[in-house]
Amino acid sequence: MELFHVRLYEGNARITVFAAQANARTFDYQAGDIGYVPPSFGHYVENIGNTTLKFLEIFKSDKYEDISLNQWLALTPPEMVKAHLQLSDDTIGKLQKVKPVVVGPGLL
């Protein structure tokens, strides 16, 4: 899947883009900014402000797939996660194998 860009409408975000071989880049964005994630690169969006974060991801595909980094690491053998990321046993134990569904207020 190819992500063309991320458009921030409201709030402040930190977006980390994961490339191959332990390379990652982190960028901070504010409302009105546009970011780009190259094809097949994983990414993580974090709200770093005190208000609601609203953003739109635009893909060049009719199929959307969401992969949770938390879930992905939880399903990876703990020895590998510990060896590569130097995470503590306590942190690894807090990873969730089931991805939580995010639902906004008033949508239930």
94: its two tokens: 């807090």
Known catalytic membership, residue 65: no
- Select from 65, 67, 43, 71 the least CA-distant residue to 55: 43
Q: What is the dihedral of CA 40, 79, 89, 46, to 10 degrees?
A: 0
Beta partners for residue 27, in sequence order: 15
| Residues, the chain | 108
- Of 10, 57, 65, 79, the active-site residue reads 57
Which residues form the catalytic set? 57
